[in-house]
Amino acid sequence: MATPRSAPPTPGIQRLAERCRAETPVLTRRLMAAVFTDNPEWNDYTSVPRADLRDGCRRYLTRILDLLTGTAADPDHDDVAAAIGRRRAEQGVPLEAMLRTFRLGGRIIWEALLDNAEHTGTRPQEIRDVGTAMWTVIDGLSSALSTSYRNTQLEQVRRDERRRHALIEDLLAGRAHDATFAAQAARELDLPAHGAYLVVAAEPRTDGAPVLPGAETVLAALGIRSVWHSRVDTAIGIVALEHRDAGAVLHRLRPLNRGRTGCSPAVAQLAQLDSAHELALIALETLPHNAIELISLDERYPEALLVRSPDLTRLLTAHLLGPVLELPAKERDVLLDTLAAWLAENCSAAHAAARLHCHRNTVLNRLQRITHLLGRPLDGQRAYLELTLALTALRLPETTA
């Protein structure tokens, strides 16, 4: 059995609809008058020129009559309703206002059909058929309107998101050196055109969860503006300091951190975001692959120097610690831990022993063993510096060390 939506219009319905066609200008004026009430939430058409709105009302009423006479079909996918929905979405008219207008238009057509039914002696059964067909058409047109409206909104969101991502990428690539672009980007991203910035770079988690969940919201609650941008290999945040201390901002972000995250030093202006971006990525590189930590480059300059010169870093570790690194793993690790503790305790064997939970003489014996293996003394400012750098290099990601 065919549904009412797919049933063709009866001759009675067609006859009444045809009689209403001549009244379309009058019906359009009625709909325009009905749209505007004392409640502004029901008639939010301020962004629509009056002529545009009148044309939309006329086309909508005409399409109802087309569907009732059989000159148009399938109201659920109607191109006129879809075009109106798309146009009003672009103009920012609320969907509720549009659906109300469609209902008002349906009521006005229904009243016109009833008036003509009285003059043509239409039978009661035919009037019931007209009512069923009429509201089936209105329901279908409203569905077509809503679908087109929401699809247009979704397209706008996607377009705005693409635009936003492009602006962020251009800022990070250095286009903010152009003052005109910098001002435009700041305005569109709601960032200050002047003042200091940080750039944050986080490595995505393997489980897909955000590394800094809720960062933008947390900062916004403190009056700190920021934008966040996801890439395949990193998530990037641009944070406006606006006279705040960078350390205080990091203090707020650290409790949120769930992965490897590096932060640039503060840069003085938007035009330096490209440099800050590069420095944030360097800070990220200094963290071990399994780290769950947010660090600033200000805390990692020795490591940064090493990761920026991986070939020299490998030569450094091989030259200074090569014989120790060639030992079996257990003995190698004991000697390296002892050397690191001794250097960390300002070359005090007693303090290193306390840290390692062993006897002072044990530390001295291990240091003597390292001296013998390396064929050089461990004492002296240059030796301390070189050995500290070599040990630091061993804690860097494997691709560097």
- From residue 104, give the alpha-carbon distance in Å to each of 27, 88, 108, 112: 11, 17, 6, 12
**pLDDT the model gives residue 42:** 60
Bridge partners, 200 (sequence order): 237, 263
User: Which H, E and C letters describe 199-268, residue by residue?
Assistant: EEEECCCCCCCCCCCCHHHHHHHCCCCEEEEECCCCEEEEEECCCCCHHHHHHHHHHHCCCEEEECCCEC
Backbone angles phi, psi at 261, to 5 degrees: -140, 130
Say if residue 397's pLDDT is above 90: no
Read off the pLDDT band of 243 (50, 70, 90).
confident
> Among 111-125, 270-284, 335-349, which is the least confidently predicted range?
111-125
Write the pLDDT tens digit of every residue in 135-191. Answer: 899 999 999 999 999 999 999 988 888 999 999 999 999 999 999 999 999 999 999
**pLDDT the model gives residue 1:** 34
DSSP sequence for 109-144: HHHHHHHHHHHHT--HHHHHHHHHHHHHHHHHHHHH
Distance, CA of 80 to CA of 201 (rounded, Å): 48
Structure pTM? 0.67
Specify the DSSP class assigned to residue 293: E
For residue 294, the SS3 value is strand
Task: Find the mean pLDDT for residues 345-351.
Answer: 92
| 47 HSE (CA, 13 A, CB side) | 10
Sheet of 235-240: strand order equals 226-230, 235-240, 197-202, 260-263, 293-296
| Domain annotation for the chain: domains and CATH numbers | 11-157 (1.10.490.10), 192-307 (3.30.70.120), 310-394 (1.10.10.2840)
Task: Find the mean pLDDT for residues 38-60.
Answer: 83
Say if residue 2's pLDDT is above 50: no
What is the average pLDDT value for the chain, to the nearest integer?
89
Read off the pLDDT band of 398 (50, 70, 90).
low
Say if residue 122's pLDDT is above 80: no
Distance, CA of 76 to CA of 143 (rounded, Å): 6
Asked if 392 and 320 count as a contact pair (C-beta separation under 8 A), the reply is no
Percent of the chain at pLDDT > 70 equals 95
**pLDDT the model gives residue 287:** 92
Asked if 338 and 356 count as a contact pair (C-beta separation under 8 A), the reply is yes
Read off the pLDDT band of 46 (50, 70, 90).
confident
Task: Find the mean pLDDT for residues 337-344.
Answer: 93
Write the pLDDT tens digit of every residue in 4-14. Answer: 444 566 777 88
Strand 293-296 relative to strand 260-263, pairing: parallel
With a CB cutoff of 8 Å and minimum separation 6, the contacts of 85 are 98, 144, 145, 146, 147, 148, 149, 152
Say if residue 25's pLDDT is above 80: yes
Residue with the bigger pLDDT between 97 and 6: it is 97
Strand 260-263 relative to strand 197-202, pairing: antiparallel
**pLDDT the model gives residue 176:** 92
